[in-house]
């Protein structure tokens, strides 16, 4: 029986895992909402090409490149991959990705928690109609100022404020009170960024930690329209005393993840460039094809970082 394959990729990105560069691309999404499951797909062929990241000094202007940069949370290239075997030699099946949250301190995920379908569809349609109006646009960044109950935050479109309100209610039962307060404070002087990324099948993002000098603690990531596997890897200690740990974790369509503390600062995250993912299941694993995927990531801007040059 032929072994599974993974067709060639799209986005190419690479940079320091601790200081992902600022973005000079744009992102969007494609309408279909479906996952097609396959027990096997033909032989594996993996693209090994990568490109360099823009320097940290790059600014946020220019949302015209089709290559998104890894300061986006859920979307780019995960670096060099092993070359494929000759076509007449099968490759072994990979280890299946986790479907439960990896044991990373500060990482929160509830398998049963999903964004309501009607809201998710409305957001995808809004982004396609408003932001992703050309093939080369695959990333959009939006911002809002802090607010209080008397003076609500301003800057984000109403549909994004509705999404934040829905997320606050959905996440409250599963988060420690202090984490929920960090993500959804009653009042704050901090500005918040919403970054919207669009991926076609075969595209990914380089493993990275979100910019340490620009974004604060507490990151929310929401997946729309398709699932994918995200790789998490611990950042080695400076003295090299701790062994590197890695986890492959499947993000279903409509899922929500939260990263705080160690998960935000001491673990990289990235997405391999593939058209299908091998995911844990009752029979040991199954292939899930990717379709167009969109992600929205909410991050706090550190004081002064909201002044963009």
pLDDT digits (tens, 9 = 90+) for 240-257: 777 889 999 999 999 999
What is residue 91's predicted lDDT score, i.e. its pLDDT? Answer: 58
Q: Residue 298 is inside which H or E element, if any?
A: strand 293-300
What is residue 145's predicted lDDT score, i.e. its pLDDT? Answer: 86
What is residue 237's predicted lDDT score, i.e. its pLDDT? Answer: 79
Average pLDDT of span 44-63: 37
**Per-residue tokens: 60:** 């946020």
What is residue 110's predicted lDDT score, i.e. its pLDDT? Answer: 97
Q: For the chain, give the percent of residues with pLDDT over 70.
A: 68
What is residue 94's predicted lDDT score, i.e. its pLDDT? Answer: 81
**Mind listing the pLDDT tens digit for each residue in 227-242?**
999 999 999 877 777 7
Q: For the chain, give the percent of residues with pLDDT over 90.
A: 57
Residue 11 has pLDDT above 50, yes or no: no
- Tally: H helices and E strands in the chain: 4, 13
CA dihedral for 299, 305, 307, 309, sign (positive or negative): negative
Whole-model pTM above 0.85?
no
Residues 6+ apart with CB under 8 A from 173: none
């Amino acid at each position: 029986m032929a072994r599974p394959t993974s067709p060639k990729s799209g986005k190419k990105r690479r940079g320091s895992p601790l200081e992902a560069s600022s973005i000079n691309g744009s992102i969007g999404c494609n309408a279909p909402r479906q996952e097609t499951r396959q027990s096997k797909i033909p032989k594996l062929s993996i693209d090994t090409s990568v490109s360099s990241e823009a320097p940290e000094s790059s600014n946020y202007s220019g949302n015209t490149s089709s290559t998104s940069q890894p300061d986006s949370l859920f979307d780019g290239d995960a670096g060099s991959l092993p070359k494929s075997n000759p076509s007449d030699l099968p490759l072994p099946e990979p280890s299946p990705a986790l479907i439960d949250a990896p044991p990373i301190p500060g990482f929160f995920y509830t398998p049963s928690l999903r964004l309501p379908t009607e809201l998710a569809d409305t957001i995808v349609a809004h982004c396609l109609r408003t932001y992703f109006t050309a093939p080369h646009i695959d990333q959009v960044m939006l911002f809002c100022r802090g607010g209080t109950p008397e003076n609500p935050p301003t800057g984000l479109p109403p549909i994004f404020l509705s999404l934040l309100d829905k997320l606050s209610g959905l996440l409250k039962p599963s988060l420690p009170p202090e984490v929920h307060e960090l993500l959804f404070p009653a009042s704050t002087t901090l500005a918040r960024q919403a970054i919207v990324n669009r991926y076609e099948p075969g595209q990914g993002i380089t493993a990275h930690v979100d910019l340490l000098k620009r974004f604060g603690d507490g990151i929310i990531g929401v997946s729309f329209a398709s699932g994918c596997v995200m790789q998490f890897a611990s950042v080695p200690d400076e003295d090299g005393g701790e062994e590197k740990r890695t986890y492959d974790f499947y993000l279903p369509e409509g899922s929500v993840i939260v990263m705080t503390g160690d998960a935000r600062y001491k673990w990289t995250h990235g997405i391999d460039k593939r058209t299908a993912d091998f995911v844990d299941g009752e029979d040991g694993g199954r292939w899930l094809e990717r379709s167009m995927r969109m992600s929205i990531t909410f991050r706090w801007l550190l004081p002064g970082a909201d002044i963009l040059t």
